[in-house]
Amino acid sequence: MPDGIGLRNFAYTDFHAIGLQENFDIIFWNNTPFDLTKLGFKEIKIQNSKSHPFTEIYKNARKQIELNLNIRRTKELVYNTYRFPFSYATIPKAVKSLLTQLVSFTHSSKHGLNRVRKIIKEEERKTLYYHQSLETLQIEKPAMVFCTNQRPMTAIAPLLAAQDLGIPTATFIFSWDNLPKATMVVETDYYFVWSDLMKEELLFYYPFINKSQIFVTGTPQFESHFDKNKLLSKEVFFEQNNLDTNKKYICYSGDDITTCPDDPKYLEDVAMAIRELNKKGYSLGIVFRRCPVDFSGRYDEVLGNYKDVITSIVPLWKKIGEGWNTVLPTQVDIDLQMNTIAHTELVINLGSSMVFDYVAHDKACAFINYDVFNKKISNWSVKKIYNYVHFRSMPSKDAVFWIDNPSTIASIIEKGLIKNSSEIEGAKQWFKIINQHPPQQSSKRIWEGIKSIISKE
- Which of residues 122, 157, 175 is at a domain's end? 122
Distance CA 160, CA 164 (A): 6
- Which of residues 122, 140, 174 is at a domain's end? 122
pLDDT at 14: 95
pLDDT at 350: 96
Q: 287 and 240 in contact (C-beta within 8 Å)?
A: no
Question: Is the predicted pLDDT of residue 100 greater than 90, yes or no?
Answer: yes
Average the pLDDT over 70-91 and give the result.
96
pLDDT at 321: 65
Average the pLDDT over 10-37 and give the result.
95
Question: Is the predicted pLDDT of residue 175 greater than 70, yes or no?
Answer: yes
Distance CA 97, CA 86 (A): 6
Distance CA 261, CA 382 (A): 10
Specify burial of residue 207 (Cβ count, 10 A radius: 0-12, 13-18, 19+): exposed
pLDDT at 323: 60
Co-location of 150 and 117 in the same domain: no
Q: What percent of the chain has pLDDT over 90?
A: 90
Distance CA 345, CA 381 (A): 28
Co-location of 203 and 240 in the same domain: no
pLDDT at 144: 98
Cis before 315 (ω within 30): no
**Whole-number mean pLDDT of the chain?**
95
Co-location of 158 and 255 in the same domain: no
Co-location of 419 and 451 in the same domain: no
Residue 85 DSSP one-character state: P
Co-location of 329 and 368 in the same domain: yes
Task: Report residue 82 CA to chain centroid gap.
Answer: 15
Average the pLDDT over 278-297 and give the result.
95
Question: Is the predicted pLDDT of residue 385 greater than 60, yes or no?
Answer: yes
Q: How many CB atoms lie within 10 A of CB 101?
A: 15
Co-location of 329 and 418 in the same domain: yes
Average the pLDDT over 98-106 and give the result.
98
Co-location of 114 and 246 in the same domain: no
pLDDT in tens, 317-342: 887 766 655 678 899 999 999 999 99
| Angle at the Cα of 155 from the Cα atoms of 334 and 318, rounded to 5 degrees | 30
Q: What is the pTM assigned to this prediction?
A: 0.95
For position 325, which CATH number holds?
3.40.50.2000
- Which of residues 88, 103, 122 is at a domain's end? 122
Distance CA 450, CA 190 (A): 10
Question: Is the predicted pLDDT of residue 407 greater than 90, yes or no?
Answer: yes
pLDDT in tens, 114-168: 999 999 999 999 999 999 999 999 999 999 999 999 999 999 999 999 999 999 9
Distance between terminal CA atoms of the chain?
22
The count of domains in the chain is 3
Co-location of 59 and 44 in the same domain: no
pLDDT at 393: 97
Co-location of 247 and 296 in the same domain: yes
pLDDT at 421: 85
| Angle at the Cα of 434 from the Cα atoms of 215 and 449, rounded to 5 degrees | 15
Co-location of 148 and 259 in the same domain: no
Average the pLDDT over 90-104 and give the result.
97
Task: Report residue 327 CA to chain centroid gap.
Answer: 14
Q: What percent of the chain has pLDDT over 70?
A: 99
pLDDT at 340: 98
Co-location of 360 and 407 in the same domain: yes
User: Pairing mode, if any, of strands 318-319 and 327-328?
Assistant: antiparallel
Alpha helices in 75-195 (DSSP H): 91-106, 110-124, 128-140, 156-164
Domain residues for the domain of 171 are 5-51+127-219+440-456
Co-location of 114 and 149 in the same domain: no
